[in-house]
Structure 1
Amino acid sequence: MHSLASMVKMNKVNNNDTYWDRLVERVFQGDGSQKQTNEQPETQEEKDYQWARQTNEHLMQVFSWDRFDKKEAKFRLNYRLSRKDSLLQRFNRQVWMKAAVILLALITGALLHAILPGKKQETSYSEVTVPLGQMSQIQLPDGSVVWLNSGSVFKYPTSFDQKKREVFIDGEAFMEVAHNPKKPFVVNAPSFAVEVLGTSFNVDAYATDSYSSVTLVEGKVLLHANQEKQSQILVPGQRASIRNGKIDKLTEVDTEFYTSWKDEKIVFRQESLEEIARKMERWYNVEIQFKDESLKKLEFSGTFLKNKPVSQVLKSLSIMNDQIDFVTENRINQKNIIYIVKKNN
């Protein structure tokens, strides 16, 4: 506060608190009663009032006092300051000093009263954590439906705001988003975000994994990668891979392969045993260890039902490849350990 006042004095701007409080009060009340006629010379006070009114209008546009949001206000201000034709950039030094006085009065004076009633309320969130070996399905406040895979954490507001529908995922989810062109649906994952209007898509984004993916079934989505600010539009049948916060590749795929888990099916297509083991750990809440590192590179294709016991799935894999065998160590109050070993032929 003192530094602002000092700057005002150095630049010989009228920093009389009472003077500016009176002008700010006039702006707040929309008082134009003292406006000069064309036949009368405009006084300095009237010039300051007109400037204060115009400045307030610009500030209202930048900060949206009716629904004040600090993050959004910062974004808008940065955006406007970065534009070459920005009105704010054309303010000279003396005008900025006046702006400092106006802001000081706004914080301490009558306009503070106007801001506080419209201040944005804290958003209340619900969080769903899906235990390993289980799945969950929820319906969001807008009617969108979300299927959550094992080990996923999903966070969403108890009610969406007026501008967008924003949710957060750490894990895997299939979403059928209710169409609303006026309120985009944004899914935030650890290393990227997906923006949609209404569509069906799969997000595989466990924070512990080295890569993530988005697979589009219907509609259209806009993918934003956190690193290098990459963006990519996806159309139905496309899958985008994200590695280390960057869009790695875009491929045409059979979407059923990436969404079958919600129908309680396990589908592999030329997938390494290491990757299969990682998924099975989540699906069946077990720990899988390799006794021979070379076995991790073996590839398998097949379809299994998730409601079948893990022992049955493992037996099927061992039948498909006679190099491998499985040994289970049952533990009390802990995850069972499954060892993948090389079969002695």
Structure 2
Amino acid sequence: MFENKREKIRRNATLSCAPMMDWTDRHCRYFHRLLSKNTLLYTEMVTAPALVRGGALHLLDYSEEEHPLALQLGGSDPAELAEATRLGAMAGYDEINLNVGCPSDRVQSGTFGAILMKQPQLVADCVSAMQDATDVEVTVKCRLGVDDQPPEETLPAFLETVAKSGISRFTLHARKAWLKGLSPKENRDIPPLDYELVHQMKAEFPELHISINGGIASLAEALPHLERGLDGVMIGRAAYHDPANVLLDADTRVYGQGTATTAVGAVHEMLPYIEAHMSQGGKLHQITRHMLGLFTGKPGARAWRRVLSQGASKPGAGPELLLEALAHVQAHPNTQAAE
């Protein structure tokens, strides 16, 4: 059963939505799950110190409907990460992922994220301790390298060292990270992409499950990477800003199953979730901010965004605002989104 669960999560990882701070919260993930039943979803990064020292266990909250679901942890202390992993496993996550890719100054000051690319043995020690704490699969998301490292030399050495700890799943963000001089936003755009190096790593380490991340904007761009032999593709900003384009056809084109819903159907399916959230004191905009890109490129999309952006934060705004915004889309019956 344990192996079956691990095999299943690896199939789900054929396509995944990247962990993104301030974006992939539980409301975003619930919405994305309506669009695809199979795509692997990731939490925002949760720091091990926040869970272990800060007792912020609410950061582990999620809805059962979000599965398959991975928890991304940040940290660099093996014992602390092991305890955070245990907490994540107890909460029911399907995978625990270690962040070795975030380049922000705040993360660097905690000695974790991309700066750990310089300390592969420490990463190996961390994931070894994490694995000892759970039967849930432990994985790593990293960059190709940092600063002046030559990735063609240091990345194979990093993968080899970390893999010796017993883990075999890596997601490679196909850019280096510059720890000084570039902001986190710039680090997502300025360092050049090197997809070929990721494919080379799969060729050199065929036993590893390797997913590629970075700059991939659609299923049409994702599928060739799978056809060439990579095990998975992780999509970040495109899945957030244009979720229908990335996720609505994923179950069919990636997993060989039927489509979960339509964009319009997803709006209606969100209404009970929104009502439940607001009945507990939540705010409408906490959810609708993740839905603004649902009809990107479709007639009525601008009005959809305007109604939600301007109205969701107003006192008294409720689920009916979505239906008001949706009417602007459905006024264009020929749009694919309204079918």
Task: Indicate whether the TM-score tops 0.5.
Answer: no
Q: Which has the higher strand share?
A: 1
- Please give the TM-score of this superposition, normalised by the length of structure 2: 0.25
Question: Computing the radius of gyration over CA atoms, which structure comes out larger, 1 or 2?
Answer: 1
- Please give the TM-score of this superposition, normalised by the length of structure 1: 0.24
